[in-house]
Structures are given as structure tokens and as C-alpha cells.
Amino acid sequence: MSIDVESMAGLDLQVRPQPVGIAVVGAGYWGPNLVRNVVQSAATRLIAVVDRDVDRARSVAGAFTGVRATSDLAAVLADPSVEAVAVATPAGSHLEVASAAIAAGKHVLVEKPLAAGYADGLALVEAARARGVVLMCDHTYCYTPAVRRIRELVRGGVLGDIQFIDSVRVNLGLVQRDVNVFWDLAPHDLSILDFILPEGVWPVAVSAQGADPIGAGQACVGYLSLRFPDDVIAQVQVNWMSPVKVRMTTIGGSKRTLVWDDLNPAQRISVYDRGVDLADPADLGADDRRQAIVSYRSGDMVAPALPEREALQGVLAEFTDCIRTGRTPVTDGWSGLRVLDILEAASRSLEFAGAVVPLRASDRGEGR
Amino acid sequence: MSIDVESMAGLDLQVRPQPVGIAVVGAGYWGPNLVRNVVQSAATRLIAVVDRDVDRARSVAGAFTGVRATSDLAAVLADPSVEAVAVATPAGSHLEVASAAIAAGKHVLVEKPLAAGYADGLALVEAARARGVVLMCDHTYCYTPAVRRIRELVRGGVLGDIQFIDSVRVNLGLVQRDVNVFWDLAPHDLSILDFILPEGVWPVAVSAQGADPIGAGQACVGYLSLRFPDDVIAQVQVNWMSPVKVRMTTIGGSKRTLVWDDLNPAQRISVYDRGVDLADPADLGADDRRQAIVSYRSGDMVAPALPEREALQGVLAEFTDCIRTGRTPVTDGWSGLRVLDILEAASRSLEFAGAVVPLRASDRGEGR
Amino acid sequence: MSIDVESMAGLDLQVRPQPVGIAVVGAGYWGPNLVRNVVQSAATRLIAVVDRDVDRARSVAGAFTGVRATSDLAAVLADPSVEAVAVATPAGSHLEVASAAIAAGKHVLVEKPLAAGYADGLALVEAARARGVVLMCDHTYCYTPAVRRIRELVRGGVLGDIQFIDSVRVNLGLVQRDVNVFWDLAPHDLSILDFILPEGVWPVAVSAQGADPIGAGQACVGYLSLRFPDDVIAQVQVNWMSPVKVRMTTIGGSKRTLVWDDLNPAQRISVYDRGVDLADPADLGADDRRQAIVSYRSGDMVAPALPEREALQGVLAEFTDCIRTGRTPVTDGWSGLRVLDILEAASRSLEFAGAVVPLRASDRGEGR
Amino acid sequence: MSIDVESMAGLDLQVRPQPVGIAVVGAGYWGPNLVRNVVQSAATRLIAVVDRDVDRARSVAGAFTGVRATSDLAAVLADPSVEAVAVATPAGSHLEVASAAIAAGKHVLVEKPLAAGYADGLALVEAARARGVVLMCDHTYCYTPAVRRIRELVRGGVLGDIQFIDSVRVNLGLVQRDVNVFWDLAPHDLSILDFILPEGVWPVAVSAQGADPIGAGQACVGYLSLRFPDDVIAQVQVNWMSPVKVRMTTIGGSKRTLVWDDLNPAQRISVYDRGVDLADPADLGADDRRQAIVSYRSGDMVAPALPEREALQGVLAEFTDCIRTGRTPVTDGWSGLRVLDILEAASRSLEFAGAVVPLRASDRGEGR
């Protein structure tokens, strides 16, 4: 697959096609954001808000004229003006809701994670392929100006070969009952890695360390280690108990190293022309390599200018463009599966005290 | 043992005893700092600088009148005016140099790490005990005003029970040939943990992930995970390849969480009265705990004022006070052994792909 | 007057009175924010949006059912369901719009600055008093949690006597045609000073330096110096040409100094127990004072926890509470006049190359 | 004059000439730094340390073999091995000490400010010219890698035309008895401006606001406004009472804006390709200019890499090179005079409540 950021929709829809009629399912935490963006976008039209709690659906939909608020998903799926469904329910119900929508011939946008497990996610991917509808993951961060730019820089070779990645996402977060901190926070980091890394660069194994020092019944502090070929390592740190909020990702490359500090709006991305080079490692035998001379680069740092743009508008632009053109979304079902693959491996590693757990080799699918 | 920071010397030496005559062995990276501080301190007198390269010894000693510069360690050890030896040679020669000094009845201050391995370190500890001389580790950070204050706060119960620790020490560092990034950088973090944690709080097992993406022949990127009882976790991150220098340690406690940012001189320590509490976990059965209600504290942050003080002056004050009084140093040989124990376990874990390696239970010694 | 923050409404309206029917006049930059907050607040009901450009009014009002969008202000003022008018037009039309609203017996909330000049503002204050309606300035910052807390700390004596104030508000801002950078940005700083300073602490004279290095026809860079009794000084720096956004205010006191960094959400307020004290200046004669010994305090810093709260909700709560109870708003017309007094003096100072211009003594009014 | 940074000495002295014999006069605050650097530099040889307090002189000189410590300046000036004198006494004695040295045919390096007043400084400049010796100001900041780079960027046209400058130097500083905060701190900012600004860009008038809210007998808080031709403005803010240390200078240009944050070692200099442009102001009549369209640039930010280098080594390199070659130092006596000119004008402005005081037009001398 060779989809470039440049070909991603949403920046230059010239001829405005008919808006896509959308129902948002789930009026909890994320649903209202989807509703607001579907209303604002010229490419979409909000038809209905669905929630088990019809009052909640109504309060989210209510301010907007003519939008249906209901708890009756089946009725909404039977409505031909609904072309697409955005699923913002808890992950445990993604399979049921999205399957029903796919069966009804609707295009589907699913909040992260794609499903409660890999098998469920795979079922959705295959059902969507069989039915010929678009299945897209709402990996929102991938549609921020910062992450789009990081993708360009990484895949465009500006950083050189990737050598290490360190990603920190910690906060005084909402401790959850049924989902540990990996499943809650790491999907962001993993979907970003999936989005920015070049073709063929993907971890082969995972190990995880977690702790629940407050007795919450779930890991509240977690470290996820990803092993790549060529002795490349990535780590994702997640924590619900940090009084300080940190969202910082460092991507070390053979040419440059990029630091993304998402909480520094004045300088989100810094690209450092600094690093360590091994002098001619290719020319040396294995024993000589230990004696090889290391050199250091110490060049300028560049912080690229970034436009302001709400990520969910980009999500909807990509979704509607794929619906209208038949194109595969950049964050398609396979990307959601790759995230689930790592999350399941992390859970298995946690069960076995941090054992290294290999990832499924075969499901890189069409996406990478 | 119950040595308090308050009883540490160096702040209030009232009656000035006779200065301790000191020879500094090793005139490389760290030796000149020792030399400068031995000269400046009223409690010490610099007698000699020893280095295999006598010119280097002379250039370090030379500016100061009457200091001997030599490559002849034996001669220096035979000099009765030399009461103590500060060893700043590479770790590989610590056993040889320090053993000779102990055998000559000199008190010994050893640069971190104490020795090239646990067995060597233990030999030094036992030799010093048998000979009745002071053996002290130059765990310099422990003598900074910031770490002294952290020790007071942690051991004084201000943070409550320790729940998690995250320590980051990354930099564009000097890639070394014979020592990996764990052995180079983690001794700082580990000696600090040893210094600040309360009696009885110590890890029981270790796992480590490392990578050498540039082919340096040593891990250049490392993650060290420390498992404590009660599902407490600590992680130490070390990296020679980061273009950005970070030295930050977060210590999460049941009452408060402390963040130490050593590169922010205006606010090195921040103590947050923010966190997550589990509502009455003790009152609940195991199954009920998953349903327990979590509550959040959101109080003020306090950044304590810290005095300015050069850490090496505190090291020398502790060393000379222990020599004069017979007291055991706060950073004694056992503390150096505990650091070596973790470093060796980390190396074993690296060999076995991140396997969990238990620590020696018995050698907490007298120190903890 | 002795209104405390604690008595400010909006935090604890227990018995919900009838919502206040509001028309928002001006659908440009600020109007949509007012509209959104009027819709969200339970204490207000949006009746109409008025703008010369009726399409703009409609687009702002349109999404909300049953809100009238019109360019006919007179018709709206004739509507008895409109109890209050929020004026968000350019300052040049504040007099006309607000006067008409007052004449129609409506309570009026006016965007800063209160009017295009002091005389116009005074006319509004007097008209509102004569007609018995509430006239309130939308000094939005005063209703942020940070500024409310600063007021408590300053007026509560935590800082001691105020010694100096430095306020910086710079940005790559919208260069305006008819209003210079002082009139555009300084009303924020000045209304905040008016809000937080204790009774009786107010400048007596002003001088200003401005520059228009790009030939915009207006000062784009400005420094405003405020002279208080007792050799206290305040400075407000405003700049439309700074590539870096800074919003930082330092308030130096005899006991503590407060730094408010509004762009650091993790630590907006820092209260430093650091400073310079003169040893017993009161005990010394004038000549001796030069020889007096200065001492330094170096205590902890405290960053108080702040709640999250949208400021405009606080504005509306104060406005509606004053309407229902007859109370005078904390940011009443007099506070707006005091801001205009300084702005006019600044303009005069600019005309005369930075000459010191005294402020009107008499119009501290009831407010201070 | 057309001295480029590139031609400044100290980076590439190839053929090592005979070291310059130097006497340091004044062993107080700054003297020991000079002593240490004179000892370290291969281009200089420390002959003597002179201080009224001979014990202080000895303690500063004492550690170094063969350096004379004395209170007898005349004897030192009579010593032919002393080729040059570095004056680090209080400003009040600069005239006396430096005049004596010049009369004795010694080259002179004077700590900032050059003298206690303009007339004194001029006397030194003329005496040095008459005697044919080098007179150099120790404007230390000008020899830091950051300020050297800023000079290159500003004088090289990278910023375009200078539009505004804002320089902040605040701290919990040493309140002084006989010198106000302008004379204590502003020489740094003013000597830097003198160093970095292009030929012909220099202020024509000054106004100052100061306050002494603690009754120290001297202004402790100060704002210095510098007026340039073409409606360009600079401000220097100095304050001894700030609990937070800030050393930040913003230089706004027509092409780019530079921010120098000297307390951020990881990113001291940031060059922003962001700003405001006026559309074709040259093509428009005066009245039309108010209607002119402003456009905004929003490009990348670049933080140039800077070498590490102790500034005083650069000072000594420049001094000794000028002694050996007869070249005029970049920070010659005229640069010191320009600083004094502004400081005296600031003092006069303070006396007259912030009145605008013109600078001496004629004394730009050879330096600019």
C-alpha cells in the first residue's frame, strides 16, 4: 500500500459531494465530540444519536434541529438516509454494534480500540470486506497536524533509520474498573506508531510490566516494551497516577531525532540534528566493532510550524472521502487489528511476569 | 541502622579536627573534581595525585603547591601522612587499588560503581571491615541538597507509602566500549534510591530491556524495571542517544507525589498533593475491590527551597567525619553492593531477553 | 465597598430563579462565545442575536432552536422577554447600543473596553444609575479561577504590601486599524489590576511608550508605566508582533511574590516566599536608610490548586445574580471607567513622548 | 569600522606568541574569575593580584605558585613583566586605577561599567589613545557563544531590519548601596546591544522609570526605554526583587524574530520565521497606510547549535590579540562610553520623572 499523507483527504475537497448521513452511537464521553464535529463538517449530516439512555442521547442531540435521538439502533440502521455509523460505545460492545451496522450495509467508524479483542476485531475487518463497506478506526491523534507532520518526517526519511522510540502518556487519569491502563491509554501511542512508521518497520515481540499499587484491581502503572528487528526498541509508558500530565514521544533516528511534546502548543515538534554515529560499522568485522570510533553530531534544532486544525474534522474528512471514492482509510481496520495484537500480547506478558510475547506475523495485512 | 540526614556531617563541624591527608588515585574524568574539592575543603589536605600517566597526574596536581604527582601508588600508600585514598580510576581497577589501600590501613572513598562486580565489591567490604577502615562510596548525588531533601521527605513519611518510581537519565552521552549504558548511568539512580527509600523498602527482582541500534557493541538504550513487594514498581530509563538531556525522577506515594527535575535549578523538587485514593480497600473483600470507588485528591504543589552547596564537599565532610568518629558512612560499602546487585541482575536479565531476575536477599547487610 | 470573592455568585446558586432572557448584540469575534455560554447556562435564556449583518447573526444563532436572528436592535429592545443585553460590538458603538438598551430598561453587559472614551463610559454609568439597571463590564479574566484566587491572595494580605507589578501580554496579534495595541490588549491587564488590588491601592499617574515600526498607523508595541503612591510601580507590556505568546504577571509584595503564567495550565500561579527585606527602615533616619542592611528571604514556593471553570459562566452568573438581587457587580461600570481613565492617559502620554499624565482622582467612584 | 566576529581572536591562534603578563587589580567579586581564567589561558601569564586588602589578594592568588599578592599598585605598575592590567575594582575607582596603568604604559582591561561617569570614561579613552595602549571593556556577555551568534545573525541580516527589542534581566539580586539597579544590571544589556546591532543602528534618546518600594535608597526596579530612529523601540527591564530569575532578550526584525533565553542551556537561541508584514507600505500615501493590509508569516523556528566556551577565555583572547597585533578590540573604550552615555541619560530621566533625554550624538566615535 502506498498511501501518502498528501493524498489524505480533508484538506482540499474541491467538488463538494453530497454530505454523508451519519448516526452516532454512544452519547457518553466521546460521542458528543463526534456529534459536534459531524454537525460542523460540510461533508457530513447528523441524522441520529443513539444511546441506551435515550435522555442522554437527546441531551447530546437536542440542541440541533431535526436530529433524531433514540435508543433503537435497529430502527436507525433501517433508515436509508443513514449511510454511515460512528460507534462511540465502550469497547465491549463494538463487535455487536459495528457488526449490526455492517450487516445493514453501513460504513462504520469505530472509536479506539477497534474491539475488545483481536478475534472480535478480525471478525469486523472480514465482515466489512465481505459487505464492501468502509471500516475505519477513529485513531484521532493520527489526524492532528503534529502527527501528520511526524509521519511525513519519519516516512520521508528525514530521521533516517529509526533506532529507538520512547513514548510517555501519564496523567492523573480516570482509573477504570474493567480496563487496565494499557488498554485505556496505549492505543493512542500504538495507533500513532502504526501511522507514522515506514512500511515494514513493526515490532515482532512485546513485553510488559504493570503494577496496581493501590489495589484498584487493574494495572494503573504500565511499561510496554516493543522489540523490533535490528535491535531497535520502543517503549510506551502509561500511568493513571501521575500528578503531572506528560504526553511526550521521542523518535530516535540515524540522521535526526524528533521530540513531540503534545502539551507544548508553542513547540510541539522539535527535530534535532544531534546524535551518535558509529564510524563505518559496515567496514568492520564483528570483533572490531567494539573498537569502532563513535562520532557525535551537534547541529541545529528545527521546530516546524504547524497549522491549527481540529483532528476530528480530519477523521471525518478521511472517512467521508473513503466512502465516496472507495479508497481504504489510512487508519483502516487492519491498523486497529495491529493495535489489538500488541494489547493482547501485553496482557499475556503481564500474566507471565513480563515474558516476551511474539506478535502475530501474518496480520500486518494489507495495511503495512 | 538508623542514620538520619540530620546526623550527617558536613553542615556543622564546629571544632575543626586535624585535616585528613588524602591521595587521589586517577586523574581522568572525575579525579580533577575530587582534587579541587579536597583542596577547597578545610577538613582535608591533598597529599598526592596518582595516575599511570604521571603527566596527567602532574597537570591535575600541578597548580597546587606541594602536592605530589606520581604514578607510584605503592609509595603513596607507604606515606603515613596519607590517611585516606580517593579512588577515581575505571571500575575495573577498583578492586586492585582499593584493596591495596585497605591493606595499607588507609580509609577509602571509591567512585561509583564500587567495583566491576558484586563479588569484587563484597571482597572490598569485608576487607575494610576486617582492617577497621572506613569504606565509603562516592555516591555524589546523595550529597546534593535536592537528594538530601528528598530523603527527608520520603523517609519522613511526607509522601506516604511509596507506590511507583520512575527515573529518567538520558543524554547525548559518551558511548563507552566496555560498559553498557546501565552500568554507566543507572548507578546514579540506584544509589539515590538506596539513599532515599525507607528501611525495608527495596526491590526483590529486576528485569531489563536494552538495545544497541547503532552497533556499538553495548546496550546504548536501556529500561530497567524493579519489582518491589506490594505491587510497587520502579523503572529506570537510561539512554546515551537522546539529543535532549533529561534527569527526572517521579516518586509516587499514597499521600503525595514528588517530582525531581535536576535540570530545573529554579524548581528542582515539586511535591504534589494530588493523587488517586482507593476508598477503604481494607474494608473490602478481594472481589469487592474491583468495584471499589476511587477518589482523587487535587491539592496544592509545594516546591521547597533548597540551599546551594557543592555535593562533593558533602561527600568529603561525610568521609572525614566517619574517619574521625568511627561512624559508618551513609553511603557505605553495603550501599555500593546493593547497587552492584541490581546491575548484575540487569545484565543477566538482558542476556535472557528481559527475564525477571531475583536479587540477593541476604546482602541488604547492615545498611538497610 | 466590601465585596468579597466569596460573595460572588455563580458557585452556589441554590434556588434557581427564572432564567434571564438575553439578547446578544454583535456576532463577530466575541459574540459567539457569549451565545454559547448563554445557551449553556441554566441562569440565562438566549432570546436573540443581533448583528448589522443578519446572515452572521443567523449563523451564530442558527443552530439553536427558536433563537431570533436579526439586525433590528430596536425591535429586540422592544421585546419584554429580553431582560438584558450583552454588547459585543466594536467599542466605537458601545455608547449607542448600550444607551439604547439602558433607555429601554434593559440590564447591560458590555465587552471591554466599556466605551471608546472616558466621557462615553461615564455617560453609560450615569444613565444606568438613573434608570436603575445593572451595568456590568465583561472583564472576563476576572472570572477565571486563577484571577479569583489571585484576588483572594492579594486582598487577603498573603503578599503583604504590593511593591511592584509587571504584566506582559504579547503575541503575534491581530494588528488593528483603528485601535492601538494599548486599547486592544491592556484592558485585560488593567481590569485585572482593578479586580485584584486592595481598596485604596491605585495608580495616580501614567506614562507610555509606543512604537509602530511597521508603519501600521497604530502603536503595535507598547509599554505602560503606572505610578502608585509610596514609590510602587507597575508596568504593562503589550505587543502584537511577538512570535512567542506570553501572558505573565508578577506581583511583588513585602511578604511574598506571586507569578501568574496563564499559559502554563499545570502551574498557573506560583507564590514565592522569597524576597528582599530592609532591616528596620522605620527605625532609621533618612540618611541612615542608605546604610541600612538588606536581608533576603528564601522560602518555599507554593502553587495553589485551581478548579477548572469557564470564565464566561462566571461572568453570566455574576450578571444574573446582580439582576436578581440588585447587587452591584464586582466588575461594574466604575471598574470599566477606571480602565478607560488609564487608557486615555496612556494615549495622552504617547502624544507627548512619554510624559507623565495624572489620572482623574475623583472617579474611583464607589468601586474602590 | 568593520570588525567581523569572524576576525575576532581566540578561536584560532595558530602561532602562539609570548604570553601577556597580567596583573589583576581587585580581588572581590569578579577578580577571582579573571584570575582563574588568566591562569588557565595559554596566552596570558598571571604576575600579580592587587587588592587594598592584601589578605584577600593573597587568598585569591595564593594557590598558584609564584604569583605576587600585594596592595601596592604602584610597585606592580613599575614591574616591566606586567604588560597589562585587568581592573576589577568598584566602578568608582576605575578612573584612578586605569589612568595610573595607562600612564605606566600598560594595556588595560576594565570591568563594566568603564567608569563611574561619562566624563571619566572619556578621559580614559583619550588617555589610552594618547599613550598608544589598548583599552578594552570586559563586556563579558559579548564573548559568549550565544551573543556571538546573535551578532552574526543580526548583523548578517537574518532578522531583517530591527523593529523592537525587549530585554529582561531580573533576579533576587544583591541590593547595592551606591549604585542603582540600572547601573548594576543594565550595562550587560546595553553592552550586548552595542555589540550586536548593525552599524548606524543606535538609540537617540532614553527615558527611564524606576522605583524603590523598599526604601533602599536606590531604584531597585527599573524600566529603561530606548528610542531609535524609524519608530524602533527597545526596552530594558531590570529588577533586584524578582524571586524568579529571568534573562531573556527578544529582538524583533522585519524578516525574523530572535529570542535569547540565557537560562535555557538546551535552547538558548530561537529564531522564529513568524511575524507581521505590512502589504506594500511604501506604495501607499500616509492616509492610505491606515487601510493597508497586514499579512502574517508563520514559518518554522530554528534553534542554532552553540559551542560550549567560557566567555572570559574569549575576553582574554581578544585582549591579548589586540595587544599583540595593535588591533582595536571589538569592545573598546568607545563601546564602554556608549553604555555610560545611556546610563547617565537614564539617571537624568529618573530625576525628571521619566522625561525623554537625548543621547550625545557625537560620541558614537570610531566604534560604530
Count of CA atoms in the C-beta half-sphere (13 A) of C320 = 26
What would the pLDDT profile of D189-223 be if each residue is shown by its tens digit? 999 999 999 998 999 999 999 999 999 889 999 99
Among chain B residues, the shortest Cα distance to A226 is held by B209
Give the number of other Cβ atoms within 10 Å of residue B198's Cβ: 15
Give mean pLDDT, residues B349-359: 94
Residues of A in contact with C64 (CB under 8 A): 63
List the single residue in C267, C270, C305 with the smallest CB-CB distance to B299. C305
Q: Is the pLDDT of residue B68 over 70?
A: yes
pLDDT category at D9 given cuts 50, 70, 90 is: very low
Cβ–Cβ gap A300/D299 under 8 Å: no
pLDDT category at B293 given cuts 50, 70, 90 is: low
Euclidean distance between CA atoms D158 and D257, whole angstroms: 9
Q: CA Rg, chain D, in Å?
A: 21
Best to test chain C binding among D179, D231, D274, D280 (most C CBs inside 10 Å): D231
CA A229, A231, A236: angle at the middle one, nearest 5?
A: 90
Best to test chain A binding among C65, C67, C246 (most A CBs inside 10 Å): C65
Q: Which residues of B touch D (CB under 8 A)?
A: 39, 63-65, 244-245, 263, 266
Contacts of D64 (CB under 8 A, 6+ apart): B63, D35, D39, D46
Residues of C in contact with D233 (CB under 8 A): 209-211, 213, 221, 223
Query: Which portions of chain C are predicted below pLDDT 70?
Result: 1-16, 62-65, 279-293, 361-368
Question: In Å, how far are A269, A304, B176, C69 from A258, measured between CA atoms?
Answer: 7, 11, 24, 49
Among chain D residues, the shortest Cα distance to B243 is held by D266
Give start and end residues of each alpha helix (H) in chain B. Answer: 31-40, 54-61, 73-77, 94-103, 118-131, 145-155, 181-196, 286-289, 311-325, 333-351
* Neighbouring chains to C with at least 3 Cβ pairs closer than 8 Å: A, B, D
Provide the pLDDT for residue C4. Answer: 41
Residues of D in contact with A267 (CB under 8 A): 301
List the single residue in A164, A220, A281 with the smallest CB-CB distance to B215. A281
List the single residue in B175, B278, B291 with the smallest CB-CB distance to A294. B175
Provide the pLDDT for residue B178. Answer: 81
Provide the pLDDT for residue C279. Answer: 66
Of residues D362 and D122, more confidence is placed in: D122
Residues of D in contact with C276 (CB under 8 A): 172, 175, 214, 216, 220, 240-241
Which long-range contacts does A114-121 make (Cβ < 8 Å, 24+ apart)? A114/A333, A114/A336, A114/A337, A114/A339, A114/A340, A115/A91, A115/A336, A115/A340, A116/A91, A116/A92, A117/A340, A117/A344, A118/A337, A118/A340, A118/A341, A118/A344, A118/A360, A120/A94, A120/A95, A121/A333, A121/A336, A121/A337, A121/A340
Provide the pLDDT for residue D285. Answer: 52
* Neighbouring chains to B with at least 3 Cβ pairs closer than 8 Å: A, C, D
pLDDT category at D1 given cuts 50, 70, 90 is: very low
Positions of E strands within chain D: 20-25, 44-50, 68-70, 84-87, 107-111, 135-138, 162-172, 205-211, 221-227, 233-239, 241-253, 257-261, 269-278, 294-303, 357-358
Average pLDDT score over chain D: 90
Contact yes or no for B50/B25 (Cβ under 8 A):
yes
Residues of B in contact with C301 (CB under 8 A): 267, 302-303, 305
Q: CA Rg, chain A, in Å?
A: 21
Among chain B residues, the shortest Cα distance to A250 is held by B242
Tell me the whole-structure pTM to 2 decimals: 0.91
Of residues B11 and C99, more confidence is placed in: C99
What would the pLDDT profile of D305-323 be if each residue is shown by its tens digit? 999 899 999 999 999 999 9
Q: Which residues of A touch C (CB under 8 A)?
A: 39, 63-65, 244-245, 263, 266
Among chain B residues, the shortest Cα distance to C266 is held by B301
Cβ–Cβ gap C207/D209 under 8 Å: yes
Provide the pLDDT for residue C337. Answer: 97
Provide the pLDDT for residue A40. Answer: 86
**Percentage above 70 pLDDT, chain A:** 88
**Percentage above 90 pLDDT, chain C:** 78
Best to test chain A binding among D258, D301, D306 (most A CBs inside 10 Å): D301
- Rounded to a whole number of angstroms, the distance from the CA of A170 to the nearest CA of chain C is 13
Residues of C in contact with B267 (CB under 8 A): 301
Task: Map grid coordinates 522569597 to a residue.
Answer: C274
Q: Is the pLDDT of residue D266 over 60?
A: yes
Residues of C in contact with A63 (CB under 8 A): 39, 63-65
Contacts of C351 (CB under 8 A, 6+ apart): none
Euclidean distance between CA atoms C261 and C270, whole angstroms: 8
- Rounded to a whole number of angstroms, the distance from the CA of B30 to the nearest CA of chain D is 19
What would the pLDDT profile of A261-272 be if each residue is shown by its tens digit? 999 999 999 999
B234: cell is 520502579
Q: Is the pLDDT of residue D286 over 60?
A: no
Of residues B237 and B296, more confidence is placed in: B237
Residues of C in contact with A263 (CB under 8 A): 266
Cβ–Cβ gap C267/B304 under 8 Å: no
Cβ–Cβ gap D211/C233 under 8 Å: yes
Residues of C in contact with D236 (CB under 8 A): none
Among chain D residues, the shortest Cα distance to B244 is held by D266
What would the pLDDT profile of B241-291 be if each residue is shown by its tens digit? 999 999 999 999 999 999 999 999 999 999 999 988 876 555 555 554 445
Provide the pLDDT for residue B276. Answer: 86
- Rounded to a whole number of angstroms, the distance from the CA of A63 to the nearest CA of chain C is 6
Cβ–Cβ gap B305/C301 under 8 Å: yes
Residues of C in contact with D178 (CB under 8 A): 290
What would the pLDDT profile of A112-151 be if each residue is shown by its tens digit? 999 999 999 999 999 999 999 999 999 999 999 999 999 9
List the single residue in D63, D244, D266 with the smallest CB-CB distance to B63. D63
Contacts of D91 (CB under 8 A, 6+ apart): D111, D113, D115, D116, D179, D183
What would the pLDDT profile of D54-76 be if each residue is shown by its tens digit? 999 988 886 566 789 999 999 99
Of residues B226 and D3, more confidence is placed in: B226
Q: Is the pLDDT of residue B365 over 60?
A: no
Among chain B residues, the shortest Cα distance to C298 is held by B305
Query: Which portions of chain A are predicted below pLDDT 50?
Result: 1-13, 288-290, 366-367
Residues of D in contact with A304 (CB under 8 A): 300
Cβ–Cβ gap D302/A305 under 8 Å: no
Query: From the centroid of its chain, how far is CA C84?
Result: 20
Q: Is the pLDDT of residue B218 over 50?
A: yes
* Neighbouring chains to A with at least 3 Cβ pairs closer than 8 Å: B, C, D
Average pLDDT score over chain B: 90
The kind and range of the H/E element at B242 are strand B241-253
Euclidean distance between CA atoms A13 and A43, whole angstroms: 9
Provide the pLDDT for residue C52. Answer: 95
Cβ–Cβ gap B300/C298 under 8 Å: no
Residues of C in contact with D299 (CB under 8 A): none
| Secondary structure, 3-state, C313-330 | HHHHHHHHHHHHHCCCCC
Residues of A in contact with B172 (CB under 8 A): 274-276, 296, 298
- Rounded to a whole number of angstroms, the distance from the CA of D74 to the nearest CA of chain B is 28
- Rounded to a whole number of angstroms, the distance from the CA of D272 to the nearest CA of chain A is 9
pLDDT category at B202 given cuts 50, 70, 90 is: very high
Cβ–Cβ gap B241/A275 under 8 Å: yes
Provide the pLDDT for residue D15. Answer: 56
